Amino acid sequence: MLVRFTKMHGLGNDFLVLDTVTQKVKVNSAIVSRLADRNFGVGFDQLLLVEPPTDPDMDFRYRIFNADGSEVEHCGNGARCFAKFVRDKRLTAKATVAVETQKGPIYLTITDDKQVVVDMGVPVLEPEAIPFAADQQAVTYPIEVDGQTVQISAVSMGNPHGVLVVDAVDKAPVESWGPILESAAAFPAKANIGFMEVISGAEIRLRVYERGAGETKACGTGACAAVVAGRLRGLLDDKVTVHLPGGTLQIEWAGEGEPLLMTGPATTVYEGQIFI
């Protein structure tokens, strides 16, 4: 079956976007993995599906698949691309779009300067709900990695995250510790692992090893989780500039019980057609 697709990226975190509103498309893990191959397919970090909503109060349904074919709950950079896609394709004329995800509704707003603001919802900190194996909620938790004990913050932004504070992200052991912590027993559903360098209360640098994708150029939910972790540790202000390898995001969070707002760009790379 020949289907239309759009290649997009959010700060270098790249996506293949499929419109299943105007064309009939079905994917499975094998198809996703084949399309994700950067030598024999299109190549991407995640595949995004734009679907009709199942909830009449929502405008669309948003599904995300990692390059390994696994379906995940949320992707912030993908959400910004999703908003641009549905506006560019004239699937909606709304400035703010209500979107279903596996973990509940999110709201996407395109600003006059073509940035996308994503209401990421309220971060989840209760261990059982993240999920994270701990008897009670804490700001940080000790975890074993590579023969030493480190302190990690555990946060869900609709998907599970672990955040470490490091002296310098350029020297952080992302490639070696990332896969170990991603699959640590404390994270029964696995997790995205963030390595955060605090520059000031209003600025951080961040690298993220994403569950099922490896290190990516940017991770929107990872940026949000890092700001939550830094705020809870008393290291960050309520408005933070997050520098990722692919570019910069603005994250705003008033504190526990409040939703996060993430602002950043979304870019269309090219359009194409491929047999599925």
**CATH number for 56:** 3.10.310.10
pLDDT value of residue 268? 97
| Interval 144-162: pLDDT, tens | 999 999 999 999 998 999 9
| 224 part of the active site | no
Residues 172, 135, single domain; the answer is: yes
pLDDT band at 213 (very low <50, low <70, confident <90, very high): confident
Q: In which residue are the tokens 């020297």 written? A: 171
Contact call for residues 116 and 108 (beta carbons, < 8 A): yes
Q: What mean pLDDT is predicted for residues 234-256?
A: 97
Per-position DSSP letters for 136-176, written without gaps between them:
S--S-EEEEETTEEEEEEEEESSSEEEEEE-S-GGGS-HHH
> Does residue 119 fall inside a structural domain?
no
Q: Does residue 118 lie in a domain region?
A: no
Q: Which of 155, 186, 219, 228 is catalytic?
A: 219
Q: Are residues 106 and 212 in the same domain?
A: no
Alpha helices in 126-267 (DSSP H): 174-182, 220-232
pLDDT the model gives residue 56 = 94
* Residue 108 CB neighbours (<10 A): 26
Half-sphere exposure (Cβ direction) of 156: Cα atoms closer than 13 Å? 22
Query: What is the total count of domains within the chain?
Result: 2
Q: Is residue 121 part of a domain?
A: no
What pLDDT score does 212 carry? 85
Question: Does some domain include residue 136?
Answer: yes
Alpha-carbon distance 164 to 144, whole Å?
Answer: 12
Section 167-173 average pLDDT: 97
Question: Which domain range does residue 152 map to?
Answer: 127-258
Same-domain status, 11 and 72? yes
Question: Two tokens at 156?
Answer: 């869900």
Residue numbers belonging to the annotated binding site for substrate: 13, 46, 66, 76-77, 159, 192, 210-211, 220-221
- Kindly indicate the confidence band of residue 260, based on its pLDDT and cuts at 50, 70 and 90: very high
* Catalytic residue, candidates 27, 48, 64, 75: 75
In angstroms, the CA 97 to CA 133 distance is 35
Model pLDDT, residue 196? 98
**Same domain assignment for residues 59 and 136:** no
Model confidence pLDDT, tens digit, residues 77-131 = 999 999 999 999 999 999 999 999 988 899 999 998 889 999 999 999 999 999 9
Domain match, 246 and 170 both: yes
Please report, for residues 10, 140, 146, the alpha-carbon distance to residue 127 in angstroms, rounded to integers and kept in the order given: 29, 11, 23
Residues 70, 22 share a domain? yes
Q: Is residue 120 part of a domain?
A: no
Name the binding residues: 13, 46, 66, 76-77, 159, 192, 210-211, 220-221
**What pLDDT shows up at residue 248?**
96
Write the pLDDT tens digit of every residue in 128-137. 999 999 999 9
- 193 shares a domain with 161: yes
Residue-wise pLDDT tens digits, 12-41: 999 999 999 999 999 999 999 999 999 999
- Do 131 and 226 belong to one domain? yes
Question: How far is the C-alpha of 53 from the C-alpha of 80, rounded, in Å?
Answer: 18
Residues 6+ apart with CB under 8 A from 270: 6, 7
Residues 143 and 252 occupy one common structural domain:
yes
Q: Judge if 150 and 253 occupy the same domain.
A: yes
Q: 30 exposed, middle or buried (CB, 10 Å; 0-12, 13-18, 19+)?
A: exposed
Give percent of the chain above pLDDT 90.
93
Residue 170 lies in a domain: yes
Indicate whether 134 belongs to any domain. yes
Please check whether residues 51 and 139 belong to one and the same domain: no
97 shares a domain with 81: yes
Residue 106 included in any domain: yes
